[in-house]
Amino acid sequence: MRGRQWRGGALATPYVVGLVLLLVVPAVFTTGLALSDYDGFNAPRFTGLDNVRRALSDEQFARSLRNGAWLALLVVPLRLVLATGAALLLERRSRGVGMARTAVFLPSVVPDAAWALLWLWLLNPFYGPVPNALSTAGVETGLLTEAWPTRIGLALMLALQVGESFIVAVVSRRMIPARLYQVAAVEGASPWFTVRKVTLRLMVPVLALLALRDVLLVTQVTFVPALLVTRGGPHESTMTPSLLIYERAFLSGELGYAAMLSLVILVSTAVVVGLVGLIARPWRRAAV
């Protein structure tokens, strides 16, 4: 038994070393930088909790947190619906399913900058295909010119990159024993009843894990589209925390304050993940 434990610890050593070097050490230096005034040119000057008080009273930072929360509320449910729906439709092996799976996964492997520039063209209010098609039908979208239409367009852009979630959902569906569906068929259950009471109920633990992952993901992947597509506008409606930290650090030279904002985002994300985990716990117990 001790030999097995030692081998397990040895196998985990590269992961632990990488975790320390890539997460713990930068977090320690970031904490030190967050408690100082640093512009990248002069030596850091310790200021204690001044940056904390500044962050708590920064209206622009509070607005960026609200924007990030709205995007998460829009993107995470939509990603779950798209990934789960595609997994249930494309789980079986048949002709044409392989190409359809590739189409679902393809947006996730496109570089973020290229994906953002594609959507910048699609949503452009002057010559973009989406606004032009809707305006022809008599619908004024307000894409990239008004707050909520722009948020929705950004959410659609992020929600379509469901490749990893789709694969996990497909595997989760295939792990459900086939005999459960045979019993449901014998009992005369309708397809919709089987999906609700058998498939989705047994997939709940995996879907809860995907929801937690997407909450973390959305807080990180909004930087490139917010920078290239909207620049945080209109009227700072898509100014996300990551974009604000970038501007404060590299455009304003407030590296110490940007480090403090990063720590606040880290703690806020941990709190949100904990709340989502508590909300999902009854569903996990019901599935078991």
Q: What angle do CA 184, 189, 192 make, to 5 degrees?
A: 110
Q: According to the model, what pLDDT value does residue 3 have? A: 52
Q: What is the pLDDT along the chain (288 residues), one digit of tens a residue?
A: 455 555 656 777 888 888 888 888 888 888 888 899 988 888 888 888 899 899 889 999 999 989 988 998 999 999 999 999 999 888 776 666 878 888 889 999 999 999 999 999 999 988 889 888 888 877 788 888 899 999 999 999 999 999 889 999 998 998 888 898 888 888 888 888 888 888 888 888 888 888 888 888 887 788 888 899 998 988 889 999 999 999 999 988 899 999 999 988 888 777 877 776 676 666 555 545
Token pair 């995907």 is found at: 210
Whether the upstream peptide bond of residue 234 has omega within 30° of 0, thus cis, is yes
Cα(first)–Cα(last) distance of the chain, in Å? Answer: 30
d(CA 110, CA 72): 21
Q: Could you tell me how far CA 86 lies from the centroid of its own chain?
A: 18
3-class DSSP state of 280: helix
- Give the domains, in start order, of the chain with CATH numbers: 48-287 (1.10.3720.10)
Q: According to the model, what pLDDT value does residue 94 have? A: 67
Q: According to the model, what pLDDT value does residue 118 have? A: 93
